[in-house]
Structure 1
Amino acid sequence: MSTIELKRSVTTPVKIINYLYFAIGFLLIERFLFKGDGDTAYFVSLLIVSVILLIAYKWPAKPYIIFFGFLVLVFGKIYYGFSMDPIVGSDEIRYHAQMLAQINDFNGYLDYVKDKLTLNYSIYPSFGMFFMPFYYLFGSDNRMIIVIFNTVMLVSLAQFAFKANRSIIEEYSEINSKDKNLYTALIVFGVLASPSFMYWSSTFAKDITNICISFAALYLLIKKKYFWFIVVMFVATIFRPYTIVFTLGYYFIYKRSMKMMVLSVIGAIALVFYKTGITGLINTVFSAAYLVVAPFPFNYDNWVNYRLSSLESLLSIILTVVAILLFLSRKETRKFLMLCALCLYLYACVVTAVGHVALGNAGMNYGLGMVGDNMTRKKLPIIVLLYMVFSYCLTYMEGNRKAKSKA
């Protein structure tokens, strides 16, 4: 038997076993949602989903870091599940209303999607195409099901972030080869334990699903599966048309393509200037700063409204300082850190342009310092970027420490 045939013969049973884990888990979840009380059903269902995903997915060879990340995720989701309502804004109200209106009428839902996507175009059905089958599977209108669904999307995002980083980690020659598992494990831990991801995945919002799909497309692009990349990227852009921008930004980082990143940033600057003028161009700097510090950690109200997301923002500020010091003192780190900074600014240009449109639609005047949207939510696509920088800096410094101790 050839090596390829042997690999296929091993991989196929493993995939089948993984699917069986999911199927059995979903059956157990459905039973608890039907027969258990609300709190118990949520707790048990979340625990089952977490264990299934922990077993089914392949993770970096740092089991203690991954397991601790899962523990943080489970306890965090229980905390948010019991202490907050998933309906936190106007979008969430619409998605929840869509679910309640269509939960008992699958054919009616299909007609609704067809109408919205063809006759009266709207992006609102796009999220429903993912979460509504989840509701039909469970046969319940329990609003906590969306939290379980978003948890599946969040863990899947961590998996795709791991796969994307693992596939190009060999190009990071400045990181000790023995520490490369640490680099990917810290990224996975960051995604699982991120307070911002945890908060928004506990709401009736589409953001986590959108980012998960975009990272799936990113992984396909890295693996040169171009047809499937186009298909998956098309689905992601139905959620948010500008998803392609930050997806390519990550791709340029992974490929270490400074030329393509710079050209993309120049194009984004030109677009912002054309649409918003010099005011918008200045506001891109504010947007980039807000993407790091939102929600502003020195405002008490943000600790009340966004919980531990404010702590994450505080850590992001400290991380930015560390990254700048490392950039200035270590020449070999400059390319990676510069690519990350340009990716952040590229997305800031997109956020600025989107904010300009949002303010115009609201009938408001556009001025200096105005970003026009909830930056706490808009920063979600670059959360993985922040943890990539964190993992890179920590792994690089750990490698230097080991080198010095051996000298």
Structure 2
Amino acid sequence: MIGYVLLMLLLEKGIFLLDERMGIISFFVLLLPLFCMIRWPDQPFLLYIGFCVMLIGKFVYAITATPLAGPDENHYYEQVVTYLGLGDFLHYAFEHISTYLFNSSAYPIFGLMYMPFFKFLDVSDPLVIITYNSVMLIWIAYLIYALNRSFFGYEQANRRMYEGWIILGLFVSPSFMMMTSLFAKDVTCVALGLYCTYLLLKRKYVLFLLVMLYATGLRDYAIVYTLCFYLLFTKRFKTAVAMLVVSAGVLAVKIGGLGIVNAVLLTAFLFLSPNPVNLENWETNVMYRSMEAVAMLVALAFAVLMFIRYKETRAFYGIVVVLLFAYACTLVLVGYMTVTGRDLEYGVGTIGDNMVRKKLPILPLLYMFQAYTASWTLKWLKSIRDKRRGIHERPRPVSQIQNGAGHRHPHSPSLPEAGA
């Protein structure tokens, strides 16, 4: 597989030199064999559908939107055109980081990830970022699959369906589809958070600390969503509650009761953003993400039913709710610092900027939640169908059981007579 990756990059380098847009198309064509080489769940149809939907989404965003949608995206791209060689950029980046240390800007830090990609291929088209982000998305899907396959210890109704649903969901997710089309760090942050979780579970502590240090440079609260996944897979409910208490306590001290109220609202917004009730969120550019929110709302409703119906699911749902609320407390605190830092008014429902970016690091967990609910819901629906069809064997009447072999002749002895 490594050999194929090297061959693919060398081939792409030549194609990009001829035409950058053709290079983007050929990149995705050559990505399909690599996609098939990775050890995925034995569900090729779902994987193929997910990959095709991802490609369609990339095509739609490529022709309808720009990857340079905001100031951050433009600043990241400026580094591509400002530094002609990778060596020039690395000199600037290391000098900046060594000077500012923990106050370093995310621009040169993120550049350490994408600049080698751009400079090796010798490209300058900002649209090329969708190829980099798509590789990150495949890595995210593989990491979440590997984590669930090795460390998911909760009671399951249908493991095969659960794993396939997660992978399909991540590839067709409108939120991921949009964010992978922007020249931004968010998808990389998700991948690094999951990778840190994997390293922590594998007890590779030195490498974990190094990657976490880098991830924190990109996103200050990277440790929070990393711990959310770690505590989920290790089933440490008490530790999760302790993290929630600490998060809520800090929030109460810094903001007061208003912060707790906003954390509760934000926990709901993690499922329901963008708000599907708002008609403006059904415009063309937001419609698919609103559909995703509706799907999450349906999953949430069925999750409540499954929680009541099957006690085996309560351990999973309980820790997920605790972790989401703890994460929401962190986001509220970050949003509060952002809003007050800009001298803006802070009130009920004020959560800061871009909600899609806020929930993206935890979105794989939401799709785990959705897949888990779907698998148990399917089991429940099957049980209803079986009862209606009368498949379950009816219990025999007590009188028939007492009579024993009711089909034997009444005068036939059950045991031979003595001396026979």
The normalised TM-score by structure 2 is 0.87
Give the match for residue 83 of structure 1: 64
Taking the aligned partners of 2:189 and 2:127, their CA distance within structure 1 comes to 19
Contact 2:68 2:74 in 1 (8 A): yes
Q: Does 1:23 align with 2:6?
A: yes
Match of 2:129 in 1: 146
Whether 1:376 aligns to 2:356 is yes
Structure holding more helix per residue: 1
Match of 2:50 in 1: 69
Contact 1:182 1:395 in 2 (8 A): yes
Return the match for 1:308 from 265, 275, 288.
288
Paired AA for residue 87 in structure 1: L
Aligned partner of 1:352 in structure 2 is 332
Percent identical: 32
For the 8 Å contact 1:127–1:206, the answer to whether it is kept is yes
* Distance in 1 separating the partners of 2:367 and 2:133: 20
Deviation at 1:95, TM superposition (A): 0.5
Cα distance in 2 for partners of 1:165, 1:237 equals 24
SS in 2 for 1:304: coil
Q: 1:6-405 counterparts in 2 under 5 A? A: 18-36=1-19, 38=21, 40-49=22-31, 51-102=32-83, 104-120=84-100, 121-169=104-152, 171-172=153-154, 174-176=155-157, 179-302=158-281, 303-401=283-381, 405=386
Q: Are the aligned partners of 1:47 and 1:74 in contact in 2 as well (CA < 8 Å)?
A: no
Q: Is the 8 A contact 1:246 1:346 kept in 2?
A: no
Note the C-alpha offset of 1:67.
1.7
Is the contact made by 1:53 and 1:155 (CA closer than 8 Å) also made in structure 2?
A: no
What does the per-residue CA deviation read over 1:135-176, in whole Å, with 9 as the maximum and x for residues that have no partner?
01110101121110000001000000001111123x22x324
Check the 8 A contact 1:175/1:399 in 2, yes or no. no
Give the distance between the partners of 1:284 and 1:91, measured in 2 at CA. 26
- C-alpha distance 81-360 of structure 1, shift in aligned 2 (>3 A): same
Q: Deviations over 1:288-313 (max 9, x none)?
A: 12222111223343333334112111
In structure 2, C-alpha distance between the alignment counterparts of 1:33 and 1:366, rounded to whole Å? 48
**In the superposition, relative to structure 1, how do residues 340 and 61 fare at CA in structure 2: closer, same or farther (>3 Å)?**
same
AA partner of residue 57 (structure 2): G
| Root mean square deviation, CA, Å | 1.8
**Is 252-261 or 391-400 further displaced after alignment?**
391-400
Q: Distance between the aligned counterparts of 1:357 and 1:312, measured in 2?
A: 29
C-alpha separation in 2, matches of 1:306 and 1:99: 29
* 1:24 positional shift: 1.6
Contact 1:269 1:349 in 2 (8 A): yes
Deviation of 1:401 after TM superposition, in Å, equals 5.0
- Matched residue type, 2:159: K
Q: Give SS of 1:379's match.
A: helix
**Distance in 1 separating the partners of 2:107 and 2:91:** 14
| Unmatched 5+ stretches in structure 2 | 393-420
**Structure 1 residue identity aligned to 2:65:** M
Separation in 2 of the partners of 1:54 and 1:141?
Answer: 26
Aligned equivalents of 1:23, 1:266: Cα separation in 2: 48
What is the SS of the residue equivalent to 2:349? coil
Match of 2:409 in 1: none
Measured against aligned partners, the alpha-carbon deviations of 1:376-399 in whole angstroms (never above 9, x if no partner) come to 221101211111011111222334
Mapped partners of 1:273, 1:208: distance in 2:
31
Q: 1:233/1:74 Cα in 2 relative to 1: closer, same or farther (>3 Å)?
A: same
1:158 counterpart letter in structure 2:
A
User: Structure 1 regions of 5+ residues with no counterpart?
Assistant: 1-17
- The answer (yes or no) to whether the contact 2:86–2:115 under 8 Å persists in 1 is no
**TM-score where L is the length of structure 1:** 0.89
Shift of 1:36: 2.9
**8 Å contact kept, 2:93–2:108:** yes
The separation in 2 between residues aligned to 1:228 and 1:137, in whole angstroms, is 26
Aligned to 2:41, the other structure's residue is in SS state coil
CA distance in 2, matches of 1:209, 1:265: 26
Larger Rg: 2
Report if aligned partners of 1:359, 1:372 keep a CA contact under 8 Å in 2: yes
Query: Tell me, what secondary structure is at the counterpart of 1:367?
Result: coil
Contact 1:25 1:52 in 2 (8 A): no
Partner of 1:11: none
Aligned amino acid, residue 218 of structure 1? T
| Compared CA separation, residues 167 and 37, structure 1 to 2 (3 A) | closer
Q: How far did residue 277 of structure 1 move?
A: 1.7
> Following the alignment from structure 1 to structure 2, what is the Cα–Cα distance between the partners of residues 353 and 274?
11
Q: Which amino acid aligns with 1:116?
A: H
Q: CA deviation at 1:43?
A: 2.1
Q: What whole-Å deviation, never above 9, does each CA across 1:49-89 have from its counterpart, x for those lacking one? A: 2x143133210122221221111111111111222100111
Residue deviations 1:353-393, cap 9 Å, x none?
Answer: 00001012211122222111111221101211111011111
